[in-house]
Chains A and B, each alone.
Chain A
Amino acid sequence: MMQPGMPGTTLAADAPAPAVRLPRRRGIEFSLLVVAVLLSVYGYCAVGLAKNGTVPPGAAGYGAGLGVLALLAHIAVRLRAPYADPLLLPIAVLLNGLGLVLIYRLDLETPGDAAAPTQLIWSTLGVALFIAAVLLLRDHRVLQRYTYVSVVAALLLLVLPILFPAVNGARIWIRVAGFSIQPGEFAKVLLAVFFAGYLAANRNALAYSGRRVWKFKRLQLPTGRVLGPIVTIWLLSVGVLVLERDLGTSLLFFGLFVILLYVATGRTGWIAVGLLLACVGAVAVGWLEPHVHSRVQDWLHPFASIEAGQGPNQLSQSLFAFAAGGMLGTGLGLGHSILIGFATKSDFILATAGEELGLIGLSAVFLLYALLVERGYRAGLALRDPFGRLLAVGLASIVALQVFVIAGGVTGLIPLTGMAMPFLAQGGSSVVTNWIIVALLIRISDSARSQYDGTAAP
């Protein structure tokens, strides 16, 4: 992306960069979007051919719908974020398209419970919000003004589901007019805005003030005045989550908090404290919560229920699905991941990808996420304002942590916590949130890449 002759270190440093206009690369974005839509339609057709021997009747409509959404998003980017990173939008479209294919594919196994049309509606809403965000939000730094509004809104959203009945053991949903909404999903973005805004404002205080612990400089405890609010808010959010039994999101917030604190202050001590807190928290929650305790037991002994004669649990079914895929996969539509049962389309959607696309396809999906995260980080690196940098890192980290937590969970790497695979999993709130995340990253990367023309404020 860099012009020849421009030293790479210039971009990375905090110093102002020379006024150079980077290429817009909108044509590349368009080409990649075409590829993403065609790949999704190809997958949709492959499912129909494998299951029924015919191209599914909705293939043209699906392709047209996805294409129109992608085109509108592309036009919005062209109009208002012409310098934005050309990879972000195509990756989002491809992942969302693949998610729709996988859900449609699983719908065929569960007649009477079609989730793909609903998911398409939510995706449309997500893209609409993406377009709105790209068009209306002219500068990401505006968000810094709403640091405290964000946190209040986030906490409200987190508390809201407590008033609604629990679904499958977790109080994280609210039901409105037949639609289930997971407000915690939106809270992620708001918390990222808050963390970024707060840490950008207070990072020097956090890094350089306060008493020293242990006499030498490695660990220095900031003053309570600086640290207090952030820890309070963090504890609140995590506390709410424990009450709601949504441990995946809890883990995500925790990771997000630690990463941003580290990036803002540069103190390795934060990582150590974070890990220590994580261990204490994990043990305490595991001890207090039978729900979590059983998850850990399942993780340690995935086949215990089989040996006990009670049949395979979801995790072992998930492992069976991944194993059945092997290196090459069974092919779209030809696997049996539906055996996982409940949550096949949501938390366990990756098992379908693993079984039907194999290790090769799954690795490609992981690399798409990695690329998305990497582009987010890159936008953060290229930016000069601390708020923008932290926000970019925060948003990218949300995606990275979320993918790791759920993918690690369903493949037996870490204990399983309920969470949605970004873009792939069934879940309206999740899709909408992820489109907003991508919109913000587009906005940030546009600022990062256009600032070199000298017009942007320092």
Chain B
Amino acid sequence: MTPYIRKAAALCAVLLLALLVNVTRVQVFQSRSYDDNPANRRGAIARYGQPRGDIVVGGRAVTGSEDTREQLRYERTYTNGPLYAPVTGFASQLYGTTFLEHTEDDILSGADPMLAPLPLWNDVTRTLNPGGKVVTTLNAAAQQAAYKGLGSRKGAVAAIEPATGKILALVSTPSYDPAELSGTDSAVKQAWARLNGDTNKPMLNRAIRQTYPPGSTFKVVTAAAALDAGVVTDLDAPTRSPDPYRLPGTRTLLTNEFDDCKDASLRYAFEWSCNTVFAKLGVDVGLDGMARTAANFGFNNRKLKIPFSVAPSNFDTKLDNAQLALSSIGQFDTRATPLQMAMISAAVAGGGSVKAPYLVERTTTKGGGTVSTTGSSTLHEAMSPSTSMRLRELMTDVVEEGTGARAAIRGATVGGKSGTAQHGIDNSGMPYAWFISWAQADDAMEPAVAVAVVVEDAAARRGAISGGGDAGPIAKAVMEAVLGF
């Protein structure tokens, strides 16, 4: 019997060997592919197993993490959620991430190898680092002022530091609280359904993802094109433009809100927003010149990221002269995001160059060690410095004497441009009220802020809508906040 017992024992040894070989296959050779299987929840569990890093505004975290002790353990919390939602976005266990939560996810979740003291160590241990911080360029006071200014109205505000491109405020209303989307319970699903079904689109980031006809605020671009092209050389010389202006090749007559636009000077036309003068100037500059200047300001740029992508603003490059005339006063197919309009204002204030707008000042480890910083960079020289000087003058006049009087700030030089944009079929929609401006404290070397405000409809106030009236005070509040007044 003995040899047979030995052979049976050998069989058991073979079985043991088979087990050991197989677990080695599973645990060593195929482990990576099993780990990466999308149905494997361990990635999500690890991701939510530690507190997410914070997004910082003005030295204070506007996000937080709450330990739920559930499987996906830490939930995102937000302080002043609706105020910062267009910047932070949401970080949801169920619906993923948006905006900074999305683009800075590697830092916030701790997956970024740069967060580790020894980057290669993570490959060995396959663990996450503690979540890092994202320090934004936002000015908390400006953000608050913009949000408060918009109040219950639908609209958006974007504010930029002209010299650098730092985004100081990015507000969209109506807003929502991203905290509602944190977690896994049924309330999150209900909130998701409610927010998506809301006709006011609270999750739409109007400051960067919605384009509007810019209306008269676009006249800054047309003026820059006319000055740079030499179509206008003297701000105070008559422009030889009729009132009303018949759109080239049509019988349509273009009129003005204010009087005395016939043959008005560029200064007067800009101050009082003469449609006829700018329509004609656009045609005089020509499609190429207008399109080039618009593109240099940032129109038709599909790649702009701040670091999340910005909807491209549109200036058509194939237009007949009638369409060009309308496009030159910010109508027809011209559309711009509030951020784009803030970039225009900033370019005027900042000597003619368009800085790449950015929202992330720097990223750090949990302990505060810098991981990366964003530097200022120039996208384009939108106009010559002399043209920018003259546009500053024109915009300053608007606030001092024209339609932008309500944005004036004592102790600072303020330039502005109001706009009222018609839209809808036969212009049936409630007009959009625009105001773009910049401000420089009297004792400062350079302008501190450029801002664009759009109010979608000041319902029941049709006829009285004017960019200066509705949007101007909001811009003023934002500028004062940045100036510290």
Contacts and interface: CB of A to CB of B under 8 A. Distances in A.
A322 B42 contact: no
B45 interface: yes
Interface in B6-35: 6-9, 11-13, 15-16, 18-20, 22-24, 26-28, 30-35
A354 interface: yes
A413 B37 contact: no
Interface in A311-358: 311-312, 316, 319-320, 322-327, 336, 339, 354, 358
Contacts of B19: 366, 403-404, 407-408, 411, 413
A57 B40 CA distance: 33
B5 A320 contact: no
A236 interface: no
A12 interface: yes
B157 to A, nearest CB: 43
B27 A320 contact: no
A259 B14 CA distance: 14
A430 interface: no
B26 A323 contact: yes
B34 to A, nearest CB: 3
Interface in A355-370: 358-359, 362-363, 366, 369-370
Q: Give the size range of B's interface with the partner.
A: 35 or more
Contact of A413 (B8, B22, B34, B126): B22
Contacts of B27: 322-323, 325-327, 354, 358-359, 362
B40 A386 contact: no
B258 interface: no
Given A404-B19, A413-B18, A389 B31 contact: no
A404 B104 CA distance: 48
B5 A380 contact: yes
B31 A408 contact: no
A339 B9 contact: no
Nearest to A373: B12
Given A323-B27, A370-B16, A411-B23, A389 B5 contact: yes
A319 B34 contact: yes
Contacts of B126: 326
A407 B11 CA distance: 16
A21 B8 CA distance: 28
A152 B114 CA distance: 70
B39 A311 contact: yes
A413 B23 CA distance: 9
A170 to B, nearest CB: 24
Contacts of A381: 2, 5-6
B194 interface: no
A386 B5 CA distance: 11
Contacts of B11: 259
Contacts of A397: 8, 12
Nearest to A313: B39
A207 B42 CA distance: 56
B197 interface: no
B206 to A, nearest CB: 36
A363 B17 CA distance: 10
B3 interface: yes
B171 to A, nearest CB: 40
A319 B26 contact: yes
B34 A320 contact: yes
B460 interface: no
Contact of B42 (A324, A327, A362, A386): A324
A389 B39 CA distance: 49
A389 B26 CA distance: 37
A108 to B, nearest CB: 11
Interface stretch (A134-142, A260-268, A281-289, A441-449): A260-268
A318 B18 CA distance: 18
Given A306-B39, A312-B39, A320-B40, A359 B28 contact: yes
A411 B15 CA distance: 13
Contacts of A354: 23, 26-27
Main secondary structure of the interface of A (DSSP, over half): helix
B425 interface: no
B1 A326 contact: no
Given A266-B4, A393-B8, A404 B23 contact: no
Nearest to B19: A407
A48 B6 CA distance: 44
Interface string A394-409: 0011001101100110
A336 B5 contact: no
A303 interface: yes
A355 B8 CA distance: 31
Given A359-B27, A381-B2, A323 B16 contact: no
B462 interface: no
Most buried by A among B6, B16, B28: B16
B22 A326 contact: no
Contacts of B41: 336, 339
Contacts of B8: 259, 262-263, 377, 393, 397
Nearest to A316: B39
A451 B429 CA distance: 106
B34 A323 contact: yes
A431 to B, nearest CB: 22
Nearest to A260: B8
Contacts of A327: 27-28
A266 B16 contact: no
Contact of A14 (B2, B30, B38): B2
Contacts of B4: 262-264, 266
Contacts of A362: 23, 27
Contacts of A386: 1
Contact of B1 (A266, A325, A370): A266
Contacts of B31: 322-326
Contacts of A413: 18-19, 22
A48 to B, nearest CB: 16
B16 to A, nearest CB: 5
Interface in A388-438: 389, 393, 396-397, 400-401, 403-404, 407-408, 411-413
Contacts of A316: 37, 39
The 10 closest A-B pairs by CB, nearest first: A323-B34, A323-B31, A413-B22, A306-B39, A359-B27, A400-B12, A312-B39, A404-B15, A377-B9, A263-B4
Given A263-B4, A263-B8, A380-B5, 5 more contacts: A264-B4, A306-B37, A320-B34, A366-B16, A400-B15
13 contacts: A12-B6, A323-B31, A324-B34, A327-B27, A354-B23, A366-B23, A370-B16, A377-B8, A389-B5, A393-B8, A401-B15, A404-B19, A412-B22
Interface of B: 1-9, 11-13, 15-16, 18-20, 22-24, 26-28, 30-35, 37-42, 45, 126
Interface of A: 12-14, 259, 262-264, 266, 303, 306, 311-312, 316, 319-320, 322-327, 336, 339, 354, 358-359, 362-363, 366, 369-370, 373-374, 377, 380-381, 386, 389, 393, 396-397, 400-401, 403-404, 407-408, 411-413
